Amino acid sequence: MPLKPDYGIDAPSVVRNLLVIGVALIVSGIVFPTIHLGNVTILWNRSASWPGGSCLLGGILMLLYAKWGKFRHRDRMLNMLRWHGDERVLDVGTGRGLLLIGAAQRLTTGTATGIDIWSAKDLSGNSLPRTQTNIDIEGVHDKVDLKSDDARKLSFADASFDVVLSNLCIHNIPDAEGRAQACREIARVLKPGGTALISDFINTGTYQKTFASCGLKVSRTGFNFLTYPWLRVVRAEKS
């Protein structure tokens, strides 16, 4: 039986916590429908059901995104570009390679580079060897290169890439200046005539402003309601 690629679960600790807390609250409401504190009676089944249900739903929706939604979102992003096949592509925060491999599958003579700091907190099993395994399984190893690199200080020359991609990466940088620096680095390595597509659920307005301050033409999509959390894509074009 042929091996299948594994692209992991995004924010695995968040998913786990949402599911555990949700189940715990719902079960506690069933086991202890009322709680008596002195002369006060709390209808715990009602108090626990709403937050418990919300947490459980959030965890389930994040799992659905990891197993289904992010593949559709990847295709949506890649379909925003007119591919010629000879592009040089950079994927910032490549994780286990979903977006990187999708781009590589659209290349003929072009190449795709994926960079990451390989944090397992942000994606289950996130490591360069596991990403390389997915690349080998998907049969694009001759078009793809992986590199350990920090988005705030990319080790590439100016104007190196025709396309820069990133999904759910930049918000993980803890400070606003660091996130702005990552956007400036993306603008720096983008070739004239090139396009960057940056997808995230927060800070996309700030990304827009930073790219605009670098002289790029910027636009932003509406929310993709097939993802959770809902994602928007910032498009930045370099003239």
Gap between the Cα atoms of 21 and 24, Å rounded: 5
Gap between the Cα atoms of 176 and 214, Å rounded: 16
Ranges of each domain in the chain:
12-72, 83-237
Predicted pLDDT of residue 35 = 83
Query: What is the DSSP code (8-state) at residue 10?
Result: B
- pTM of the entire structure? 0.93
The single residue listed with the structure tokens 């942000």 is: 122
Write the pLDDT tens digit of every residue in 101-158. 999 999 999 999 999 999 999 999 999 999 999 999 999 999 999 999 999 999 999 9
In degrees and rounded to multiples of 5, residue 175 shows phi and psi of: -120, 150
DSSP states of 168-183: S-GGGSSSHHHHHHHH
Please enumerate in sequence order all residues whose Cβ is within 8 A of that of 172, keeping only pairs 6 or more positions apart, or say none.
93, 119, 122
Predicted pLDDT of residue 1 = 64
Tokens of 78: 């890649």
Nearest to 15 by CA among 92, 67, 85: 67
How many distinct helices (H) and strands (E) make up the chain?
7, 9
Q: For residue 111, list its beta bridge partners.
A: 88
Per CATH, the number for 83-237 is 3.40.50.150
Assign 3-class secondary structure to 88-144.
EEEEECCCCCHHHHHHHCCCCCCEEEEEECCCCCCECCCCHHHHHHHHHHHCCCCCE
Write the pLDDT tens digit of every residue in 202-211. 999 999 999 9
* Ranges in the chain, pLDDT < 70: 1
DSSP states of 184-211: HHHHHHEEEEEEEEEEESSSHHHHHHHH
